[in-house]
Amino acid sequence: MPRANNTQARTVAAVFSGVRHFKPHEFNAPERMDHDFLMRLDAARSVAGIPFVVSHVRQFRPGDDGDHGQGTGVDIRCHDSRSRYIILTAALAVGFNRIGVYNRHIHVGSSPVLAPNVVWVGKSQ
Ligand SMILES: [Zn+2]
């Protein structure tokens, strides 16, 4: 089905257009990611100056009504306090307004329909 593949490839290319630090293969459903979210994530990565490893524990799932289900959130692996500070300050600097601080990752989100300006804490799965 080359036609379908071409259509999907074009969609993924459009979603990731201009994104420098992240590749589609880092996401389980790259075509479902929000372009503006990815551009903001990319900006945060530039500000941070350290690698952002997108966690595969929780990514896009059909029916998920949170940031992940809307393509407007990812979990960034984070295992130490210095990286946590760098990632958090970068996320805030570029305007992420939905942040979850977990013991082994940081959630950054920007859903336009979920509550903005929130930070929560949790335990990584
Ligand atoms: Zn998350």
Q: Ligand 1 centroid to 106 CA: how many Å?
A: 7
* Distance from residue 6's CA to the centre of ligand 1 (Å): 30
Q: Count up the domains in the chain and report the number.
A: 1
The phi, psi pair for 76, rounded to 5°, reads -105, 125
C-alpha–C-alpha distance, residues 32 and 63, integer Å: 13
pLDDT digits (tens, 9 = 90+) for 17-55: 999 999 999 999 999 999 999 999 999 999 999 999 999
Phi, psi of 74 (to 5 degrees): -140, 165
Q: How many whole angstroms from 19 Cα to the centroid of ligand 1?
A: 20
Q: Please, are residues 74 and 54 in contact by the beta-carbon 8 Å criterion?
A: yes
- Return the top range by mean pLDDT from 7-16, 18-27, 63-72: 18-27
Structural domain containing residue 25: 2-122
Report the CATH number at residue 97.
Answer: 3.30.1380
> Shortest CA distance to 116 belongs to which of 98, 95, 90, 91?
98
6 pLDDT band, cuts 50/70/90, is low
CA of 37 to the centre of ligand 1 (A): 14
Separation of CA 43 and ligand 1 centre (Å): 18
**Centre of ligand 1 from the C-alpha of residue 1, in Å:** 34
**Helical axes 35-48 vs 2-15, angle rounded to 10°:** 50
pLDDT at 63: 81
Range name among 1-5, 74-78, 118-122 with the lowest pLDDT average: 1-5
